[in-house]
Structure formats: structure tokens, C-alpha cells
Amino acid sequence: MERLLVKIASFLQQHNYQAYLVGGFVRDWLLKRHTADVDIAIAGNALQIARQIAREVKGKYVLLDEAHQIARVIVAADSERWQLDFSPFLDGIEANLAQRDFTIDAMALKISQWSQIVDSSMVIDPYGGKKDLEEGKVRAVSGNIFEADAARLLRAVRLAAELNFKIDNETEALIRRYSQLITKVPGERVREELVRLLALPGAASFISYLDKLGLLIQIIPELAETKGVQQPKEHFWDVFDHSLETVATVEHLLRETEWCYGNEGILAEAPWSKVIQEYFAQEVSKGSNRRMVLKLAGLLHDVAKPRTKTVDGKGKMRFLGHAKEGASMVTAILQRLRFSSKESELVESLVYHHLRPAQMTSEELPTRRAIYRYFRDTGDAGIDILFLALADYLATHGPELDLEEWQSHCRLIKHILGEHFKQKEVPPPKLVDGHDLMNVFGLKPGKEIGKMLEIIKEAQAVGKITTKEEALAFARKKLGLKETRLEKSR
């Protein structure tokens, strides 16, 4: 980074461009935090200068906002990908800093002095950002920052979470006052802040904080319906608090944080391995991975319970169809917030199937066939659903958890996972294909071929058939056909 900035500073100086390093870059430099994002404010035509710098450093120029003259230059250097955002200022750097959000982001450094900087005394700091960094405080530059850009409402919480800072009391009051403005923010920007927040360890407490600030229900009004909705006696919390606790138990099971109601026995019994750890680190979409998506599903998995709740004459509560209805609701929610199709489809599947593992419970462990069908039906979300089911169970019982029952529940999930990994480790060879079925049984191309191949594949997966001859005999029986001459000759 140093070499790249020195090169850019030298270029700007040669052309007499006045420029400053500003915002998050200065903050992170003072905190000695690594960052690959650089904000540069320029006195001049930022778009034209950004194009020149892109050529100079062999980077990619990206126009972000033509009306406000904001551009980005992406550079691959020092085995890293750097992102440099250029914006103009007209009335001096302090006027530019006055338009920024929080004091810790309203600081600047002359880029021409970058290679000469020896300490923080050279930082331009009109709003006391350095002091707030020392005190671990997120404080608004002025009282109108949220009216100017309501996305800052979420950004305040995310910054505090990332830096382990606290939002000062006056800024908290401002957030509560202007919380309704978050509904005017484009879904893409809300999604970006939520993803970054959920990706952090301890996201459950941050989501709870969003609720206390009045932001969560503004973002996802469907959750308002879950507040105060009572559940059957085995549930320790109402639907809303249970949903928040499910995010916390997801994090606990993913070994991110401690759960305040947890004990050594909980994690000792829960499944975990390097393979599972790597699985949940897999990217789902830009900025998100399976860990983040599982937390989001934990928050939303019971969103339809209020709409499906019934109480019979004996006082028994039921939430029939809440998983199916919930899947439809989360699809609409995530589309509104501009989550990607991959993220939406994964959360939808998690919500739709989150009861499935518990339904496989009986006096005996599920058969190979049942496990095969489970992963066939749940596809790419099968493992994620198992962990959501575990988190859901913990968040149901809370401090009243029975450790023996928990151990039994974990044995079920471990068995399902173990059998799945066995089936996946050495995929069985394909015994027959569509041409075989058409040639031997005189079938015509169509859906019937695909259905029969799936039936054969399932029988093979559970060890019922192992050879081509057995597969054809099995298919003939399923089709209700007599043995053909070709088969008799084999």
C-alpha cells in the first residue's frame, strides 16, 4: 500500500493536484488496522483525475456517480486488491469534512505528505475524531447527518460493532429520532450494511441493538408481528425473542461466540470438524458466506408463526404451515432488500425445511434411504438446515435445556451428517443411463426416464442394488414389465 500511495502522491504533485486522504482510511491508519479501501478527496475534476491515475497505476476505472463526480480505481498490487475512491471538494478540505458522518471519519491527511508522516499531529481533525478514537466512541459530526444520508443509521451500528466502540448518547438519540428514514434507503445499501453486520461474531447482540434503536422493525416490519406472540410451554421465549436467540445459538454452534445460557456439554456434543468449518466459510454471494446466511435464516425462520397460529378448544397451540408460509415471506423480504438470488434461495430453503430434521426423529436412527431422500430434497442446503435445527432446539429451551435430550438430538444430527459424508465420499458408479432404459424396455424419451433413473440412483445409494443387471431387474419390477428376451440372454 505504501508504494502505491507514494506513486499516486507523486503523480498528483507533478500535476499540481491538491488531494487528501480522508475518511475510513485515516481512521484505520490511526488505529493501525489494515484496510484495502482508500478515500481520496481532490480539488478538481475527480473523474478526469481518476482516469489518469488508473492509467498511471495500471488499474481499472469504474464510474460510481457521474452527478457527484465520484469514481473508483481498482488496483491489484502487492498480492492484494486495492480500491481507491475519488471525490471532489470545492470549498476547502474542512468544508468537505463537515459533510461527513462521524467524527472518526471526518479527518484528513495531505497525500503529498504521505511519505513524510511521522505521527498523528499532521492529521487534520476539526471535530475531535482522534479523541473519539481513543475513547472508543462513534459520534455524529452534526445533527443532520442522518437526514443527509439515512444509510448512516445502519452504518453507525456497523462501525461500532466492527471497531468494538460505543455510540455516544446524543448520536443514539438522533438514530432513534430518525429511524423511520431507513425505509427510504435503497435496498442494496441496506443489504450491504446488514451483511457486514451479520458477518461479525456477536451479530445477535448487534441485531438486538438495532431493535432497541428502532431500526430492525423499520427494515423488516414483518418481525413486528412476532413480538409478544406466545408459544407452547416447551418454548422459553416468545416468537420474537426466540428468533433473536436463534441467531445467538447459531453463532455458538459455529464456534464464533459463547452463548450466555451455554455450558461445556452443549458444544461437546454438537457436531464440528475442519470440513464443517470450511463448509460454512464458503462464499454464497458478494460479501456473504454460509455463516452469514445461516444467521439471517435464524432470524427469519419463524417469521410466519403469528399468521399461522391457532389455539384449539383445549388450549393447544399450533403453527401449521408456518415453515412453508415463512419461506414465501422471506423470499419477499430478501427481494425487497435486494439480496442476491443465491442468498434468497438458500434462506428460503432453510426456512422451508427447518423442521425436517426433527421430523426424522424416532426410536431408531433414520435409515440410509431416509437420509438420502433428505439430502436429495434439501439439495445444497442440507447441512445448513441441520445446524439451523440444532440452533432452533437450543433457542427453544434456553436455560431450561435438558442435557440428555440435547445429547440425543445431537446424536441424530451426527448420524445424518456421518451417513451423508459416507455417501458423498465415494460416489457410486452410474449403473444405467437413459439409453439403457429406452433400449431394454422400449421407453420413449421423457419425464418417466428421469424419474426411473432417480429411483435407481436411490436404490443404489442405500445398497439395494450394485450391478447393472440388478438395476435393470429393479427397473423392470418398478415398471411392472415382464422380463425381456434381452435380459434373459444376459
Question: Which of 126, 158, 183 marks a domain boundary?
Answer: 126
| CA–CA distance, 54 with 74 (Å, rounded to integer) | 8
The answer to whether residues 324 and 408 belong to one domain is yes
Residue with cell 499516486: 8
User: How far apart, in Å, are the Cα atoms of 192 and each of 16, 212, 338, 388?
Assistant: 36, 21, 9, 23
Q: What is the pLDDT of residues 164-196, one digit of tens each?
A: 999 999 999 999 999 999 999 999 999 999 999
Domain that holds residue 113: 1-126
Residue 489: predicted pLDDT: 52
- For β-strands 37-42 and 80-88, DSSP reports them as parallel
Closest CA to 96 of 122, 127, 121, 65: 127
The answer to whether residues 152 and 73 belong to one domain is no
Grid coordinates given for 318: 399450533
Would you tell me how many other CB atoms lie within 10 Å of the CB of residue 118? Answer: 7
8 A C-beta contact, residue 209 and residue 157: yes
Instruction: Tell me how far apart the terminal alpha carbons of the chain are, to the nearest angstrom.
Output: 71
8 A C-beta contact, residue 254 and residue 265: no
Residue 314: predicted pLDDT: 86
Closest CA to 220 of 157, 162, 304: 304
The answer to whether residues 141 and 275 belong to one domain is no
The answer to whether residues 469 and 323 belong to one domain is no
Residue 363: predicted pLDDT: 65
Residue 425: predicted pLDDT: 61
Taken as a whole, the chain contains a residue count of 490
Closest CA to 4 of 122, 119, 114, 89: 114
Task: Using CA atoms of 329, 330, 336, 342 in order, give the dihedral in degrees to the nearest 10.
Answer: -140
Look up residue 292 and give its amino acid.
M
Q: What is the pLDDT of residues 370-407, one digit of tens each?
A: 898 899 899 899 999 999 999 999 999 999 999 999 99
The answer to whether residues 73 and 41 belong to one domain is yes
8 A C-beta contact, residue 381 and residue 301: no
| CA–CA distance, 4 with 207 (Å, rounded to integer) | 38
Q: What is the pTM of this model?
A: 0.85
Residue 22: predicted pLDDT: 94
- Asked if the structure places residue 296 within a domain, the reply is yes
- Asked if the structure places residue 224 within a domain, the reply is no
The answer to whether residues 243 and 200 belong to one domain is no
- The CATH number given to whatever domain includes residue 91 is 3.30.460.10
Phi, psi of 65, rounded to the nearest 5 degrees = -155, 100
Over the Cα atoms of the chain, what is R_g?
29
The answer to whether residues 307 and 438 belong to one domain is no
Residues of the chain with pLDDT under 50: 486
Q: What is the pLDDT of residues 303-341, one digit of tens each?
A: 999 999 999 888 899 999 999 999 999 999 999 999 999
Buried b (16+ CB within 10 A) or exposed e, 470-486: ebbebbbeeeeeeeeee
The answer to whether residues 267 and 414 belong to one domain is yes
Question: Which of 219, 250, 280 marks a domain boundary?
Answer: 219
The answer to whether residues 308 and 398 belong to one domain is yes
The answer to whether residues 291 and 372 belong to one domain is yes
Closest CA to 203 of 221, 187, 186, 216: 216
User: How far apart, in Å, are the Cα atoms of 18 and each of 15, 42, 82, 348?
Assistant: 9, 6, 22, 51
8 A C-beta contact, residue 88 and residue 104: no
- Asked if the structure places residue 131 within a domain, the reply is no
The answer to whether residues 121 and 202 belong to one domain is no
Residue 81: predicted pLDDT: 86
Q: How many domains does the chain have?
A: 4
- Asked if the structure places residue 311 within a domain, the reply is yes
| CA–CA distance, 78 with 65 (Å, rounded to integer) | 28
8 A C-beta contact, residue 114 and residue 28: no
Residue with cell 455450558: 263
